[in-house]
Structure 1
Amino acid sequence: MTDRIQEFLRNRREAGRDTGPCVVVDLEVIRDNYTTFAKAMPDTRVFYAVKANPAPAVLDLLARLGSCFDTASVVEIQQVLATGASPDRISFGNTIKKERDIKRAYELGIRLFAVDSDVEVEKVARAAPGSKVFCRILCDGDGAEWPLSRKFGCAPEMAPRVLELAHRLGLNAYGLSFHVGSQQGNPRMWDGALKSSSAIFKDLAERGIQLQMVNLGGGFPTKYLKNVPAVKAYGEAIFRSLKKHFGNRLPETIIEPGRGMVGNAGIIEAEVVLISKKSDEDKMRWVYLDIGKFNGLAETMDEMIRYPIRTAFDGDAKEPCIIAGPTCDSVDVLYEKAPYDLPISLEIGTKVLIEGTGAYTTTYSACEFNGFPPLETHVI
């Protein structure tokens, strides 16, 4: 909670505009985060993961600061181009793309594409001839709160074949990428993927193909209930692994921070709608908020992300509660497997602050499910 957010919420309440949940994102925090990444990894280009928070003001700020951008769709590419950023600062980082979308991206000037299969290489070769491609390899995601281990990427032993095909089809076999899992708490988890990447570089060099780049992905965490290592610790650990596996011939490197760039910049203000029990004998209270999985808190799925929730009664005695959202869907329960401690003095109508919600909230907010509007967003 920054002073700027606190003042905004106070003015919103005094003006009577606090009629529903909202997220407030402080651009000064994002500015500080970008500077921190740039200092911690000075020889690495930052490609902000647009999906984390594509608010125009966020993209405009990062474009002015010199950031590049990782995009997953033509719409995200257009959002970045609207900031004035040039196409050479944009990567089409989704490995699952319609051929017509590849063609449209190429027409917009994009020349850097992610792949993880032969057929995706063939699509890029037809629709974006001569472009650079990097192959994503599988990574187990150990140590991450939100592992990304199956949907994207190919086995490391398959990557040389994919990139050799790209080379034969006239594409620039540019490099590799991987993702160690979102909210990765262990700075050393990049080491195994870099070891695999080095072996692939050597394999392709023997075939006459010189790779140039390693995309280190995202995974840089934001603080929720548990403390996380500083960005500097990640930069130091990654550099040590690069030196260990690549020696003095270090590749170009890029990172794709999303959550780590904007997560701690946002606060959601929500309201308690109902506090109840399921029977007279039940000791567990249910606390229902006016925001849930379908209005922006989708990352509470399987209780992977546990957001800090603050109230005006935090100094009072607490007891475990089940927290749920307002919709008529039975899966709209945020924390039940591991109940959440909230003040006993909490009342219906109480405002609560959900911290660390600058990333993956507005973009996960469903449109009008049950008639509840998308999450109101303010960027200050």
Structure 2
Amino acid sequence: MSTAQLIARSPQRIFDFIDRKSLPTPYLVIDLPEIEDNYQTLVAQLPDTQIYYAVKANPAPAILQLLVKLGASFDAASLPEIQACLDAGAQPRQISFGNTIKKAADIAAAYQLGIRLFAFDSLPELEKLAEHAPGAQIYCRLLMECTGAEWPLSRKFGCELDMAKDLLIHSDRLGLQPYGVSFHVGSQQLDVRQWDLAIATTARLFRDLAAVGVELQMLNLGGGFPARYFSTVPELTSYTRSIDTALTRHFENNRPLTMLEPGRSLVADAGIINTEVVLISQKSYQEDRRWVFLDIGKFGGLAETMDEAIRYRLRTPWDGTPTGSVILAGPTCDSADILYDRADYHLPLQLQAGDKLQILSTGAYTSTYASVGFNGFAPLAVYCI
């Protein structure tokens, strides 16, 4: 699919909003009807799976309120995210404390708020849960390679299969409820086969535990469904069919309850950042590439451009005219604030300082990544329409 076709798929309501308003840049606009459509489509394709929205992707109150109304559940990474879900109208039973790294005080506070579903991936975390969330349902996160993901989540989260087995057996002895297992194949995962590999691994763990009297009930399929950045991505049906086929193949007639933690795939394509070109310059008479500085950069919400991992699509007022190679950078006095150098971005030669430029599919992992005031720049403003 061409860049022009992908731009055409972006919510026109956002472009209309930008054209009507004269708001100071940079800012993010979220199209709520687009999120609702994404959620309903996912539910229709995985009707037997409970959707736990990954709040960290974008915790805007309007998004949480919409998803509560639609019947979603929520994957929270912190006590403030739990409180945000409750403030939006979610019930405690709809919230999973999915971070495997939690303070004991936060576990206790979440338990007091009524949260009864917790993730873990180590013995010390399990012992904290036993002390501060007695009788809670717990699920163990497995370590995954994340092959094929543009934003891998390997190494930091999860434990090996044999350790997970021992921990889940031990959790039963500690008075907790060994409820299930989770995995994450990596964010912006482009290889639909990764779920089959992960589900095969978890099915083996289910069987091994059942053999020693520990009957798990739930499989958390994690997140990973992609947004539409520069790379061509498979259609949603490719993912949902792969998951359904894998569950049948590896669990046969003993399918567990399943939950999914989408974040990026629900909100990324529903958001667009409007930014201004601050400066266009060159560093020498010999250099053939222009430096294009925007009023947003890594510290303003574009942290996923680190190592140029996530490559956003851009829209300019001069699209369709001759272009030249550029280096894209942010406005701060930090040399790390370079967005794209190696990715071979080309922008119109007519582009000039003061022009407005839209960064597409930026509804996820932008506003929450923005610093609170590095170099004095304000956090990214968010408008939900």
Query: Shared fold (TM-score greater than 0.5)?
Result: yes
Partner SS, residue 162 of structure 2: coil
> Which secondary structure does the structure 2 equivalent of 1:222 belong to?
coil
How far apart are residue 20 of structure 1 and its match? Answer: 2.0
Shift of 1:3: 2.6
User: Is the Cα contact below 8 Å between 1:323 and 1:339 reproduced in 2?
Assistant: no
- Over residues 9-40 of structure 1, what are the superposed CA-to-partner deviations in whole Å (9 max), with x where a residue is unaligned? 11213xxxx32211000000000000011011
1:126 aligned counterpart, secondary structure = helix
Aligned length: 376
Query: AA paired with 1:315?
Result: G
Matches within 5 A, 1:1-380: 1-13=10-22, 18-380=23-385
1:275-320 alpha-carbon deviations (Å, 9 max, x no partner): 0111011111100000000001000000000000110111111111
Partner AA of 2:24 in structure 1: T
Identity %: 55
Range with bigger deviation, 255-264 or 332-341: 332-341
Quote the Cα distance in structure 2 between the aligned partners of 1:9 and 1:313: 16
Alpha-carbon distance between aligned partners in 1 of 2:379 and 2:241, rounded to the nearest angstrom: 40
Q: What SS is found at the alignment partner of 1:367?
A: coil
Mapped partners of 2:290, 2:322: distance in 1 = 14
Question: C-alpha distance in 2, partners of 1:220/1:27?
Answer: 19
Per-residue CA deviation, residues 230-276 of structure 1 (Å, 9 max, x unaligned), is 22221110011111111110011000000001000000010110101
How well do the aligned residues superpose, as a CA RMSD in angstroms? 0.8
**TM-score, scaled to structure 2:** 0.97
**How far has the Cα of 1:358 moved from its partner?**
0.3
Q: Deviations over 1:167-222 (max 9, x none)?
A: 10010000100000000011111111111101111111111010011100000101
**Secondary structure at 1:234 match in 2:** helix
C-alpha distance in 2 between matches for 1:92 and 1:34: 21
One-letter amino acid of the counterpart of residue 162, structure 2: E
Looking at structure 1, the residues matched to 186 and 346 of structure 2 have their Cα atoms a distance apart, in angstroms, of 28
Q: Secondary structure at the match of 1:157?
A: helix
Contact 1:292 1:333 in 2 (8 A): yes
Q: Give 3-state SS (helix, strand or coil) of 2:269's partner.
A: helix
Structure 2, unpaired ranges of 5+: 1-9
How high is the TM-score relative to the length of structure 1? 0.98
Output one character per residue of 1:91-112: Cα deviation in whole Å (capped at 9) or x when no partner: 0000000111000000000000
Distance 1:212 1:95 in 2: 19
* Secondary structure in structure 2 of the residue aligned to 1:225: coil
- What's the secondary structure of 2:161's corresponding residue? coil
